[in-house]
Each structure stands twice: as structure tokens, then as C-alpha cells.
């Protein structure tokens, strides 16, 4: 058995030590951690299952707790194409579990830390990947004698919660994707469920109608888990007697609400509520399978096809993500990848446990899995804590409530002054006083209820109560409708903006492709054409763009309808307010209702402001992205200039006067930018000289370059000076001078580095033997000829 403590840093660095450290903070210290964003790498573990009695030969060996060696000799002998590469192939991962590793070891090193992270408000995912029969379900679910990760994680979660004084709410859901259909494992009778994408900024994926059960104890969740597992689609196949025919996803959400000191600090005695929410996703994938090996027919064959297709989509996402930030990642190809979108690229810590069989008979599957796992090691993304800080919203509400209070005080004073005798009749003065006292108390007792019209209007106590009540109900329902419509409008605007950003991203992919291939791409290109082009990404970008355009059209239509409804609603509200004086017989009552309308107006204005802020935030983000793109382009341009200068120097190509002018202009421009940014107090890091020629500059080289540049500039300005003198008829003997005053003729290139020549007639020195002729420079293009 492998000793957990012997496993070297992966587990410790990522899961165990980091998380234990932060866990100390569950009692408060972690608050300083705030909503820090961390760059996280997807952690990849490999587990090798034991050989079965009927599997004699092995092709896979664990060298240590990070390295696996695959023996490809046999493969090489059979496969002519791979013969050259046959031999032993080494794979290195964050952690490798050999056949003797226990369930506990695997859990400790991969998931224990994630459970603690989730309690602190991070999202985390652990998923098992591998071919059929490689041991995924054993790791994730296990059996009563050897419980797997799901059981251990839930147990651990409740144990930790019970040891802490905070208020935690745990909810869980369990689903399976079977033949591209989603089934609720906690409520299988609900039929197939749909995936929904949030219209808001987050664009979270949710499963409509999925049962979310609030669990209170370990026992309860274990029962739920067992119930779900019994519902899972499991069938015997030739490859595995208990083969899972579906992907199973267990989601556990932990919400922690804790009072934290408000701005005045704990000393002020004021507290506000802070909520942390973390999600743990545990996923047991169905295994990839080869029809030739599984000998599946009919229904099993169809299941296998669905499984393979979704795993292929997952593999494509992994490929694209591991290739760096620029590649298009298509999550839309399967429900599995749509559900895993956040785990792979969003705000989520993710551990992948790849499973392999050591048996020679499964060499090809093991090899594929090992390659996938190695690719997935290249994935990294940003993770941040989900802290829903309510203090900001509270302060917004407070200021509105303060305004309302002032309004109410004014009205109260007015009511006392102007109360007409006729309206009061013979009622007892003391009773009247009590009425106002009731209003007063209501207003003082609950600030937030001031927004709620029910608390403001003392309709029961006002003489014309029935009319007031009816009117109030009408006004309230119109107001509610307005609010609903404004919220919808806000969501639509947010969604339209996100669609716009996404469309821009797709256009970028397309234009990159077009400039690479120097031709336009036709969106009506047929499938076989793009296959011929050998570029799947461009086709995906177009299909994504078509989808976005359809969505944009739909949302624009929805927006117009909502604006129409809102206008109607506002007109109705205005009419109601205008009718008030004729329907009521007391000035005070009119004032009260008009105040009610004012409250509604304020609420409505608040919503409008929130909407505007959302739009501004989007605009800021868009501009930020644009700026980043310009910076990237600038960097590329500078690299190109440097490289070209280097090539020119190496090839002794003379620098034409107009290019020289462009260089000086560039230098001035950079200098001016640097000055203006310096004055604004912003640190500036751009070059204040022309981009360096050498990537890895040697000091001597830099000095030479500087001298050369200065010299050529001097030469150019002297050339212009000479021209000016010529035009004015003055013959002058202007000798080309170096900055130190010596003439060019006598100037010595002590280091042997050649100067940049300024004369167009200058003939470059013959190339030394073996010197490479530089390729033609393609930037910037002189003509752009696009063809289909
Ligand atoms: N590490 C292990 N130790 C002991 N037995 C194991 C181990 N891994 C797998 N097994 C056994 O191998 C068999 C196949 O494992 P399992 O069902 O977990 O594979 P799977 O990858 O989930 O397959 P499928 O994708 O077809 O569902 C089971 O009988 C399981 O108990």
C-alpha cells in the first residue's frame, strides 16, 4: 500500500497543504483571503487498476508516484506506421497511483483538499476518465467495503461542517447523461430534462427541473447517493460486467452564511451578512469503447456511439484548451461538455483522474488515455472565490430609504398643518394622533419596509378606506409589472451585450483564419469543403456565429415587445396618479398616495440606473479587451521590426530615407506617449527607443545598435540639411558626423559591427559563404488580394 505522506507535492501543493492552510481560516482568518483570483492548473492524476486473473501480460509500469511507462514494442511490431517510434514511452503527471493504491490514498491526494476549498467558497470538480473497464466507477463510487470518492467527500463535508459553528446549507443533485438525454437520478420519473443557459452575464448552464435536495446529515446523503446509483444505467458488456452506460454527475452546493464586522470594524458592533457558496462536482464518465473489442451490438452499440461522441467532444475541448488562450473551444457539441464548461475553463478547481488498465490487451486504450491526460495537463484557468458581499447593495438601499424618510417627514408635517376639519369630522383628536403615531412607528421600525407601499399607507385607518385600498392595489400591481418588465429588459440587454462580445470573438477567429490563408471563408461552404480545408475551428466559429446571430434577432424582437409593454404599463401608472385627486376627498390621502407613486418611481429609477451600470461595465470590459488586443498587436509589430532590422543589418541592406523617417516618427511617438503617461502618473513600460534588435541582448550589441541608430538619424538629418542648403543655393560642406563629432570616414567600428547605410545607392557587401539570404518580408502587405 502506498503511504499518503510519501506522495510528493502535487497533492500537497494543490489540494492538501494549500487547503489545510486556508481551512484554518474557516473561523475567520480566511476573510483576508477575500475574493482573490488564482491562476490554477488542471491537476491530472493517473490510476492504474490491478490486472485481472485472465490478464497475464502487462504493458504498463509505474516508475514512481509521477511517472508511467508504456511498453509500445508489441504495438510497433504490428503497426508498420509506428514501428519507428516503437519502444518505451514515458508519461509524467501530477500524481500516479499504482495498482496497490487504496481508495483512501486516491481520495486524500485528489479530493480531500477540494472539499475544504468548497467550504471556503470555491468551485471544484473531480472527474474520472478512461476506457471501459479501467476502474472509473470503482474510484468514484466504489462499493460498501471500499467506498469511493463521492461517498468519502460527502462524509468529509459533513464531518467538517459539524466541527464548525457557522451556518451551512448543503444541497445536492445527481443526474446522468444517457444517450445524450439528461435524467434526474434522484427523481427518475421526471423524464428527460433540458439544459438551460442563463441569460445573465454569467451564462451559467443549469438543468431545468433537476431535483435539488437539502441534506442535513451524512446518513441522509448516503441514502440519496445509493438511491441515485441504483437508478444509473448499468449493463454487462464483453469488456465489463458492470459497465456504466452513462455519465453520472453528482453536484453538491455548500452555502455558508456568517456575520462579519461592517465597515466600522468589529469594534463598532455592527455586522453584516456575508455568504460564501462553493460547488463540488463529482463526475463518473462512461468509458470510451471500441466496437471491435466490446463486440457490442444493437442498443449497446448505440450507447457506445453516444458515449464516444461525447468523449470526443470532451477531447476536442481539452485539445483546444491545452493549446493556449487563442484557440476556439467548442462546448456545444455535447451535453457533457456544456455541463463541464465551467469545470474546464471557468471559475473552478479541477482534478482529472485518468484510469488505465496495465494489461497488454488494452494497450491502445491506455495509450490514448495517457495522451489525453498529458494534454489536459496543459490546461490552466483563473479561479476565484464566490463571495456574495451584500454591503454594497445595502448602502444603495440605505440612501434611497433616507430620501424616503425625509419625504415622509415632510409629508407628516404637512398632514399636521393642513388637516382639514371636514375630513376629520367628529373623530376624536387623540385617535387621530394615534393614527399618525402608528405611521411614524411603522416608518421608524423598518427601514427597508419603507420601500414597501403596504407599510406606508395606513389605508385601514383612513376614512375613504375602500377606494384607497382599491387604488393602492391597482397602483401596486402596475408597479410590480413595471419592475418585472424592467428586470426583463435588463436581462435582455445584458444577454445582447454578451452575444455581441461573443460574436466579436468569433469574427476574430474567422479574420485570423482568413489572414492566415489569405482568402475569404464562405459561411455556406459545405461540410466536405471545410473538411478539405482541414480546419475545424473556422467551421465551428461560423456555426457559432450563425447561432449567435439567430439569438440576437430573437432577443432584439423580445426587447421591442418588452419596451412596448413597459411603455403601456407606465402610461397606466401615470393615469392612475392623475386620477387620484378626483377619487379622494382628503389632501392628506392624496399626498399619501402620491408618496406611494414617488416610492415606485424611485424604485424604477434605481432599476434604470442598475441597467445603465451594467451597460457601462460591459463597455469597459469590451474596451479593456480591445486594448489588450492592441497591445498584443503592438508587441508583434515591434518583434517584426526588430527582426527585420536585424536581418537588414546582417545582410547589410541600406536603410532608405523614408524608412529612416518612419523610424524617427515612431521614436517620437513613443517618447510622447511615454511623457504623457508619465505626467498622468501611470508607469510606462514601452520601449523609449526603437525595439531592440536582439531578443537576448548583449550589452555590447545594444551599444552598437544605439550608436548605429543615432548615427543614421544624424545622417538623415544632415542629408535633409544638405538638401535645404542646396535649395537655398548655399553650397555647404556638411560632413556626415558621428555623435562624437568624428566623420563617418574616420569612424571606426571597433566591434566590427556594420553601420546602417543611408544611401539608396549603397550596394550591400557580398554575403559570406554559408550566410542565409533572408526571406522576403511579408509585413505590412502591399496588396491584399482575397479570393474564394
Ligand atoms: N483499483 C482497483 N482495485 C480493485 N478492483 C478494481 C480497481 N479498478 C477497477 N476494479 C474492478 O474492475 C472492474 C471494472 O471497473 P469499473 O466498473 O470501475 O470500470 P469503469 O471504468 O467504470 O467501466 P465502465 O466505463 O464500463 O463503466 C470492476 O469489477 C472493479 O471492481
Residue 195 has pLDDT above 50, yes or no: yes
The rounded Å distance from CA 138 to ligand 1 centre is 5
Does 134 share its domain with 253? Answer: yes
The CB of 113 under 6 Å from ligand 1? The reply is no
How far, in Å, is the centroid of ligand 1 from the Cα of 16? 26
The verdict on the CB of residue 138 being under 6 Å from ligand 1 is yes
Final residue in a domain of this structure, among 345, 367, 388: 388
Quote the ligand 1 centre to 103 CA distance (angstroms). Answer: 12
Whether 618 is in the pocket of ligand 1, judged by its Cβ within 6 Å, is no
Looking at residue 679, what is its pLDDT? 47
Which of 418-443 are b and which e, b meaning 16 or more Cβ less than 10 Å from the residue's Cβ? eeeeebeeeeeeeeeeeebeebeebb
Q: Which atom number of ligand 1 is nearest to the Cα of residue 239?
A: 26
Residues 604-630, buried b or exposed e (16+ Cβ, 10 A)? bebbeeebeebeeebeeeeeeeeeeee
In a domain, 504, yes or no: yes
Predicted model pTM: 0.50
- 491 and 352 in one domain? no
If you measure from the C-alpha of residue 136 to the centroid of ligand 1, how many angstroms do you get, rounded to a whole number?
6
Give the residue-averaged pLDDT of 94-106: 95
Contacts of 357 (CB under 8 A, 6+ apart): 48, 49, 51, 55, 60, 131, 133, 134, 135, 365, 366
Query: pLDDT of 342-380, one tens digit each?
Result: 777 666 788 999 999 999 988 888 998 998 888 887 776
Does position 18 have pLDDT exceeding 50, yes or no?
no
- Could you tell me if 137 and 255 lie in one domain? yes
Please work out whether the CB of residue 409 comes within 6 Å of at least one atom of ligand 1.
no
Mean pLDDT lowest for which of 164-168, 252-256, 474-478? 164-168
The SS3 of residue 197 is strand
What is the tens place of the pLDDT at every residue in 131-147?
888 999 999 988 889 99
Q: For ligand 1, is residue 287 a contact (CB within 6 Å)?
A: yes
Q: Which residues are annotated as a binding site for ATP?
A: 130-137
Pocket residue to mutate for ligand 1, from 147, 242, 355, most atoms within 8 A of Cβ:
242
Q: Report how far residue 151's alpha carbon sits from residue 218's, in angstroms, rounded to the nearest whole number.
A: 9
- Same domain (yes/no): 337, 477: no
> Which H or E run contains 368?
helix 363-376
Q: Atom 1 (ligand 1): residue with closest C-alpha?
A: 49
Our count of domains for the chain comes to 2
755 lines ligand 1 (CB under 6 A): no
Backbone angles phi, psi at 412, to 5 degrees: -60, -40
pLDDT for 107 beyond 60: yes
The answer to whether the CB of 104 falls within 8 A of the CB of 143 is: no
Position in ligand 1 atom list of the atom nearest CA 244 = 27
Q: How high is the pLDDT of residue 138?
A: 93
Residue 293: inside a domain: yes
Quick one: 165 and 300 in the same domain? yes
CA 135 to ligand 1 center in whole angstroms: 3
Binding residues: 130-137
359 Cα–ligand 1 center, Å: 13
Tell me whether residue 541 is in a domain. yes
Q: Give how far the C-alpha of residue 767 lies from the chain's centroid of Cα atoms, to the nearest Å.
A: 52
Q: 53, 137, 358: which to mutate for ligand 1, most atoms within 8 A of CB?
A: 137
Residue 184 to residues 137, 140, 191, 311: CA-CA distances in angstroms?
18, 18, 8, 21
HSE toward the beta carbon, residue 652, CA cutoff 13 A: 12
- List the strands of the sheet with 60-62, edge to edge: 60-62, 67-71, 88-92
Sign for the pseudo-dihedral over CA of 244, 245, 247, 248: negative
- Is 404 a domain residue? no
Range of the domain at 63: 39-75+85-234+242-261+271-388
In ligand 1, the atom with minimum distance to the C-alpha of 234 is 27
Whether 388 shows a pLDDT value over 60: the answer reads no
For residues 159 and 170, give the distance between their C-alpha atoms in angstroms, rounded to a whole number.
13
489 and 360 in a single domain? The answer is no
Amino acid at each position: 500500500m502506498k503511504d499518503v505522506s510519501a506522495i510528493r507535492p502535487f497533492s500537497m501543493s494543490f489540494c492538501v497543504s494549500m487547503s489545510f492552510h486556508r481551512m484554518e481560516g474557516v473561523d475567520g482568518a480566511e476573510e483576508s483571503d477575500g475574493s482573490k483570483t488564482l491562476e490554477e492548473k488542471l491537476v491530472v492524476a493517473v490510476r492504474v487498476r490491478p490486472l485481472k486473473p485472465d490478464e497475464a501480460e502487462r504493458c504498463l509500469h509505474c516508475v514512481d508516484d509521477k511517472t508511467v511507462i508504456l511498453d509500445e514494442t508489441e504495438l510497433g511490431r504490428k503497426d508498420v506506421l509506428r514501428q519507428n517510434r516503437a519502444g518505451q514511452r514515458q508519461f509524467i503527471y501530477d500524481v500516479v497511483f499504482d495498482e496497490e493504491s487504496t481508495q483512501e490514498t486516491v481520495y486524500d491526494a485528489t479530493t480531500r483538499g477540494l472539499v475544504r476549498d468548497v467550504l471556503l467558497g470555491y468551485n471544484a470538480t473531480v472527474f474520472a476518465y478512461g476506457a471501459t473497464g479501467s476502474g472509473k466507477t470503482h474510484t468514484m463510487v466504489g462499493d460498501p467495503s471500499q467506498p469511493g470518492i463521492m461517498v468519502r467527500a460527502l462524509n468529509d463535508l459533513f464531518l467538517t461542517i459539524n466541527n464548525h459553528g457557522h451556518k451551512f446549507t448543503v444541497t445536492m443533485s445527481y443526474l446522468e447523461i444517457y444517450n445524450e438525454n439528461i435524467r434526474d437520478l434522484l427523481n427518475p420519473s421526471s423524464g428527460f430534462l433540458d439544459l438551460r443557459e442563463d441569460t445573465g452575464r454569467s451564462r451559467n448552464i443549469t438543468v431545468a427541473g433537476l431535483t435539488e435536495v437539502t441534506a442535513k446529515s451524512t446518513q441522509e446523503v448516503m441514502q440519496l447517493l445509493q438511491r441515485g446509483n441504483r437508478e444509473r444505467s448499468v449493463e454487462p458488456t464483453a469488456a465489463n460486467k458492470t459497465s456504466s452506460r452513462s455519465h453520472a454527475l453528482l453536484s453538491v452546493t455548500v452555502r455558508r452564511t456568517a456575520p462579519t464586522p461592517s465597515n466600522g470594524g468589529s469594534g463598532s458592533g455592527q455586522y453584516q451578512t456575508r455568504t460564501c457558496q462553493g460547488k463540488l462536482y463529482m463526475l463518473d464518465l462512461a468509458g470510451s469503447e471500441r466496437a471491435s473489442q466490446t463486440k457490442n451490438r444493437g442498443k449497446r452499440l448505440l450507447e457506445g456511439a453516444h458515449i464516444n461522441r461525447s468523449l470526443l467532444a470532451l477531447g476536442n475541448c481539452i485539445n483546444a484548451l491545452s493549446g493556449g488562450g487563442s484557440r476556439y473551444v467548442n462546448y456545444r457539441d455535447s451535453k457533457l461538455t456544456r455541463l463541464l464548461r465551467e469545470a474546464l475553463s471557468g471559475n473552478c478547481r479541477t482534478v482529472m483522474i485518468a484510469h488505465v488498465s496495465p494489461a497488454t490487451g488494452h494497450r491502445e486504450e491506455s495509450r490514448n488515455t495517457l495522451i489525453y491526460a498529458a494534454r489536459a495537463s496543459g490546461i490552466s484557468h483563473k479561479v476565484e472565490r464566490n463571495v456574495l458581499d451584500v454591503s454594497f447593495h445595502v448602502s444603495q438601499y440605505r440612501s434611497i430609504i433616507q430620501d424616503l424618510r425625509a419625504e415622509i417627514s415632510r409629508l407628516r408635517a404637512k398632514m399636521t398643518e393642513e388637516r382639514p376639519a371636514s375630513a376629520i369630522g367628529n373623530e376624536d383628536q387623540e385617535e387621530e394622533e394615534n393614527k399618525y403615531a402608528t405611521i411614524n412607528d411603522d416608518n421608524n421600525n423598518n427601514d427597508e419596509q419603507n420601500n414597501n407601499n403596504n407599510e406606508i399607507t395606513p389605508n385601514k385607518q383612513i376614512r375613504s378606506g375602500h377606494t384607497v385600498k382599491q387604488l393602492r392595489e391597482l397602483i401596486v400591481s402596475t408597479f410590480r409589472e413595471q419592475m418585472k418588465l424592467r428586470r426583463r429588459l435588463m436581462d435582455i440587454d445584458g444577454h445582447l451585450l454578451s452575444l455581441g462580445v461573443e460574436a466579436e470573438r468569433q469574427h476574430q477567429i474567422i479574420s485570423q483564419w482568413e489572414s492566415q490563408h489569405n482568402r475569404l471563408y464562405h459561411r455556406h461552404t459545405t461540410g466536405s469543403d471545410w473538411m478539405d480545408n482541414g480546419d475545424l475551428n473556422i467551421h465551428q466559429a461560423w456555426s457559432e456565429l450563425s447561432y449567435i446571430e439567430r439569438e440576437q434577432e430573437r432577443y432584439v424582437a423580445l426587447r421591442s415587445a418588452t419596451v412596448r409593454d413597459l411603455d403601456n404599463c407606465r402610461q397606466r401608472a401615470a393615469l392612475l396618479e392623475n386620477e387620484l385627486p378626483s377619487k379622494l376627498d382628503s389632501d392628506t390621502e392624496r399626498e399619501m398616495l402620491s408618496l406611494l407613486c414617488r416610492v415606485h418611481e424611485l424604485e424604477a429609477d434605481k432599476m434604470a440606473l442598475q441597467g445603465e451600470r451594467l451597460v457601462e461595465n460591459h463597455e469597459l470590459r469590451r474596451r479593456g479587451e480591445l486594448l489588450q488586443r492592441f497591445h498584443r498587436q503592438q508587441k508583434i509589430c515591434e518583434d517584426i521590426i526588430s527582426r527585420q532590422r536585424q536581418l537588414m543589418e546582417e545582410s547589410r541592406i541600406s536603410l532608405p530615407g523614408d524608412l529612416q523617417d518612419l523610424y524617427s516618427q515612431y521614436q517620437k511617438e513613443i517618447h510622447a506617449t511615454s511623457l504623457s503617461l508619465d505626467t498622468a502618473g501611470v508607469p510606462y513600460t514601452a520601449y523609449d527607443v526603437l525595439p531592440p534588435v536582439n531578443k537576448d541582448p548583449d550589452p555590447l550589441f545594444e551599444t552598437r545598435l544605439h550608436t548605429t541608430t543615432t548615427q543614421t538619424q544624424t545622417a538623415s538629418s544632415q542629408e535633409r540639411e544638405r538638401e535645404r542648403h542646396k535649395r537655398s543655393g548655399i553650397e555647404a560642406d556638411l560632413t556626415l558626423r558621428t555623435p562624437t563629432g568624428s566623420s563617418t570616414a574616420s569612424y571606426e567600428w571597433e566591434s566590427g559591427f556594420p553601420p546602417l547605410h543611408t544611401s539608396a545607392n549603397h550596394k550591400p557587401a557580398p554575403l559570406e559563404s554559408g550566410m542565409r539570404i533572408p526571406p522576403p518580408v511579408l509585413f505590412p502587405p502591399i496588396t491584399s488580394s482575397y479570393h474564394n
